[in-house]
């Protein structure tokens, strides 16, 4: 038997395009060896329709199979009788690799294909499943299901919940897999890892144009009794949907392409996953090649009290009092919601808004603006109102769900495919372009991704298809004239459409706000590779104590961009705080790198850990935050930071004081405070 398998494997190596057929009625099982990474492989059993995943010669996933639904019928790869196999070369944006296609047939069932993509040098592979036949229809496609998986590392084991979006102050959660069985369903991507050794398994979708994807893990310690990833996931508390996932129909229906990888460091694995997303679904928006944007947004403090006079005074403050708060010799001054106070309504006179934009440019700054394109905030006033830009009524444009509507965050969702929605986009975006705005913050985008009973465009049958249609139309209308900043929005699907993505949602000034923001950085920092930049939302100082303000600023410095939020048009201590903190070149050098810091630890559940690290140039930066009210001594072994030497020169950046580190960093920090330490590697 071993000799027969060896000869079969040898045949695979010497032929460029290969094929093999196996009838399960026979008694002689055969396997397909699919190598990837370093000493890793997928082993597909043609006699059972199942496969196993080995990483570094250790079995990570056993007896995996696919399940799909065709209408109401559930079909497994284990149900088929005749299994054919082919191997072809592929060359795409991931490199030169191989595509392995397993073709499964049985009388009375549509043809199933399981596909595996592997590339030399990558410690991960991709897999997907499809159905082919007459009038196939599915809203559930799972390319990987297993009832036996292990990360081969016992200790402080965790399974990570990743939210679908950044709404409702939702938190990431690194759930402990201790003495009891833990079940966890995560959106788009899941991670199971051991915190001390950092070994971990990453499984997630890299395609988001059709499906919402769920990742379910169930187990205790380093063993999983269930691992499942599928397209067709909805959950009102996570994806915000109030109905089931839409179905895809046709002669061929395919699942999302799934990333599967086992890594020595789960953090490196999630960064690889983030990078893979940007390769699999390149930006639809133009690529941002200018330096990292710095700026200010009016929602932090001013909110609905926005006036032309307040806006201009804030421009003057940045022009006259914060001359060093710049990147690429400029900063963005962004008017959030209620800019229509300037115009007398969305259909009003935009001349004052243009005057503001011109004033920003005269001062060497760039004007920004805000809009939520797929929401109706006035729906309680009735649906007979005409939408801007057309004669369509809002009631015609509302997303229909179960005979009702999709109401969320106090707004009603608009069907992104409806011509009235598109005409409204034309009207507002054209007005803002004519005013000369160079940045736009787009918000409440998740409303466009809602599953619906039916869309105006009948070719669109899922929420993610609707999201794609709406976002592509919006970005096309902007015509490359504005930096695009996405606020509340799907975490991964928005990667094609925005340059900047808010990592959390509406954090303000307190140490609790900072901790909330950094929970999202702690477990979602890897989105820095899905977008050009992620940011920590508006940084507000207000009248908080110095330590709290250092912590709030640190949350911005280590996220990737820096957007401020105080009202600098009014006198207050926040003005002096800004002038003190925001002209420190050592600090401003950090966000100019544009890359979010990664966490040192991942064992804090729904909270943030207190240590973040990133190598920039020849320096290692360590951010330490104390969220507690009491003074604390932090002890950090240098090897935990990936450092190989035993001694270094270091500098505390807020004070500018230098000191030496030998093997272990010990640092005492007051309660509700933060520090950033720059460690010279050379």
> 19 pLDDT band (50/70/90 cuts)?
low
19 lies in the same domain as 105: yes
The pair of structure tokens assigned to 37 is: 């990474």
Do 588 and 641 fall into the same domain?
A: no
CATH number of the domain residue 507 falls in: 3.20.20.70
- Same domain (yes/no): 268, 154: yes
What is the DSSP pairing of strand 148-150 with strand 223-231? antiparallel
Q: Which long-range contacts (CB under 8 A, 24 or more apart) does 338-345 make?
A: 338/298, 338/303, 338/304, 338/305, 338/306, 339/306, 339/369, 339/370, 341/306, 341/307, 341/308, 342/307, 342/308
The answer as to whether 268 is a domain residue is yes
Q: Residue 3: pLDDT above 90? A: no
| CATH code, domain carrying 153 | 2.70.98
Does 319 reside within a domain?
A: no
To the nearest whole number, what is the mean pLDDT of the chain?
94
Whether 216 and 300 share a structural domain: no
Going by C-beta distance under 8 Å and a sequence separation of 6 or more, which residues neighbour residue 662? 646, 647
Q: Report the pLDDT value the prediction gives residue 645, as an integer from 0 to 100.
A: 84
Q: Is 575 a member of any domain?
A: no
pTM: 0.94
Domain that holds residue 669: 599-680
Q: Domains in the chain: how many in total?
A: 3
Mean pLDDT of 116-127: 95
Contacts of 374 (CB under 8 A, 6+ apart): 413, 414, 416, 421, 444, 445, 447, 448, 470
In whole angstroms, what is the distance from residue 595 CA to residue 526 CA? 9
pLDDT digits (tens, 9 = 90+) for 253-299: 999 999 999 999 999 999 999 999 999 999 999 999 999 999 999 99
Based on the fold, state whether residues 610 and 557 are members of the same structural domain.
Answer: no
CA angle, corner 203, sides to 199 and 206, nearest 5? 135
Verify that 263 and 299 share a domain, yes or no: no
Same domain, 482 and 626: no
Residues 273 and 303 in one domain: no
Residue 577 lies in a domain: no
The DSSP letter of residue 453 is S
Each residue's pLDDT tens digit, 562-593: 999 999 999 999 999 999 999 999 999 999 99
Between the alpha carbon of residue 181 and those of residues 158, 222, 373, 484, the distances in Å are 12, 11, 43, 43
Residue 506 in any domain: the answer is yes
Beta bridge partners of 259: 126, 204
Nearest to 146 by CA among 227, 79, 200: 227
Residue 476 belongs to a domain: yes
Residue 151 sits in the same domain as residue 265: yes
574 in any annotated domain: no
For residue 646, name the pLDDT band (cuts at 50, 70, 90).
Answer: confident
What is the reported pLDDT for 565?
97
Statement to judge: residues 398 and 522 lie in one domain: yes
Confidence of residue 356 (pLDDT cuts 50, 70, 90): very high
The reply to whether 562 and 616 lie within a common domain is: no
Closest CA to 219 of 147, 275, 276, 271: 147
372-to-337, 375, 447, 477, 518 alpha-carbon distances in Å: 9, 6, 10, 15, 25
Where does the pLDDT of residue 15 fall: very low under 50, low under 70, confident under 90, or very high at 90 and above? very low
Distance CA(637)–CA(537), nearest Å, equals: 31
Judge whether 634 lies within some domain.
yes
What is the domain-level CATH number for residue 605?
2.60.40.1180
Asked if residue 123 and residue 220 are part of one domain, the reply reads: yes
Q: What is the mean pLDDT of residues 493-500?
A: 98
Cα–Cα dist 474/484, whole Å: 11
538 three-class SS: strand
């Amino acid at each position: 038997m071993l000799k027969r398998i060896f000869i079969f494997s040898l045949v695979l190596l010497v032929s460029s395009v290969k094929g093999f057929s196996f009838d399960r009625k026979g008694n002689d099982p055969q396997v397909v060896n699919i190598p990837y990474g370093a000493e890793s492989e997928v082993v597909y059993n043609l006699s059972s329709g199942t496969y196993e995943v080995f990483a570094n010669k250790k079995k990570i996933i056993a007896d995996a199979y696919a399940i799909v639904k065709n209408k109401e019928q559930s079909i497994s790869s284990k149900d088929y009788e005749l299994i054919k196999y082919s191997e072809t070369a592929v060359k795409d944006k991931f490199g030169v690799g191989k595509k392995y296609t397993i073709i499964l047939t049985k009388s009375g069932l549509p043809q199933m294909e399981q596909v595996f993509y592997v590339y030399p040098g990558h410690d991960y592979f991709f897999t997907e499943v499809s159905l082919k036949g007459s009038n196939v229809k599915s809203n559930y496609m799972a390319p990987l299901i297993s009832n036996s998986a292990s990360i081969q590392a016992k200790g402080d084991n965790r399974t990570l919940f990743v939210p679908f979006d950044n709404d409702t102050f939702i938190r990431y959660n690194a759930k402990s897999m201790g003495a009891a069985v833990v079940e966890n369903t995560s959106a788009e991507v899941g991670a199971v890892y051991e915190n001390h050794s950092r070994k971990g398994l990453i499984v997630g979708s890299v395609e988001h144009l059709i499906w919402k994807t769920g990742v379910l893990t169930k187990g205790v310690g380093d063993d999983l009794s269930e691992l499942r990833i599928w397209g067709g996931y909805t959950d009102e508390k996570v994806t915000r949907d109030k109905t089931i996932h839409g179905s895809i129909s046709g002669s061929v229906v395919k699942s999302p392409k799934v990333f599967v990888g086992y890594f020595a460091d789960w953090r490196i694995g999630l960064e690889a996953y983030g990078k893979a997303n940007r390769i699999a679904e390149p930006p639809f928006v133009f690529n941002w090649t200018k330096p990292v944007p710095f700026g200010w947004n009016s929602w932090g403090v001013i909110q609905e009290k926005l006036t032309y006079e307040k806006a201009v005074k804030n421009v003057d403050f940045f022009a006259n009092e914060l001359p060093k708060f710049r990147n690429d010799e400029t900063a963005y001054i962004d008017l959030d919601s209620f800019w229509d106070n300037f115009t007398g309504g969305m259909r009003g006179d935009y001349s004052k808004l243009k005057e503001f934009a011109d004033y920003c440019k005269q001062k060497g700054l760039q004007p920004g603006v805000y809009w939520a394109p797929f929401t109706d905030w006035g729906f309680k006033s009735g649906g007979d109102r005409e939408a801007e830009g057309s004669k369509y009524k809002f009631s015609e444009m509302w997303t229909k769900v179960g005979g009702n509507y999709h109401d969320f965050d106090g707004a009603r969702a608009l069907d992104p495919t409806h011509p009235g929605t598109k005409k409204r986009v034309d009207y507002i975006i054209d007005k803002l372009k004519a005013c000369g705005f160079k940045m736009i913050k787009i918000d409440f985008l998740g409303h466009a991704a809602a599953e619906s009973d039916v869309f105006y465009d009948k070719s669109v049958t899922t929420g993610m298809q609707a999201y794609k249609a709406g976002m592509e139309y919006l970005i096309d209308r902007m015509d490359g004239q504005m930096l695009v900043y996405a606020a509340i929005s799907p975490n991964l699907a928005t990667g094609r459409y925005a340059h900047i993505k808010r990592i959390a949602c509406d954090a303000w000034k307190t140490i609790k706000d900072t901790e909330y923001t950094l929970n999202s950085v702690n477990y979602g920092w890897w989105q820095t590779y899905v977008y050009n930049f992620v940011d920590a939302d508006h940084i507000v100082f207000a009248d908080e104590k110095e330590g709290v303000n250092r912590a709030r600023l640190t949350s911005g410095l280590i996220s990737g961009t820096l957007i401020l939020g105080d009202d600098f048009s009014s006198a207050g201590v926040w003005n002096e705080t800004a002038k003190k903190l925001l002209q420190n070149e050592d600090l401003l050098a950090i966000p100019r790198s544009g890359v979010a810091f990664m966490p040192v630890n991942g064992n804090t559940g729904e909270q943030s850990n207190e240590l973040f690290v990133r190598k920039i140039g020849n320096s290692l930066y360590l951010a330490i935050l104390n969220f507690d009210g009491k003074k604390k001594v932090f002890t950090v072994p240098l090897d935990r930071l990936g450092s190989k030497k035993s001694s270094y020169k270091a500098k505390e950046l807020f004070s500018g004081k230098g000191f030496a580190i030998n093997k272990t960093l010990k640092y005492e920090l007051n309660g509700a405070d933060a520090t950033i330490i720059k460690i010279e590697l050379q």
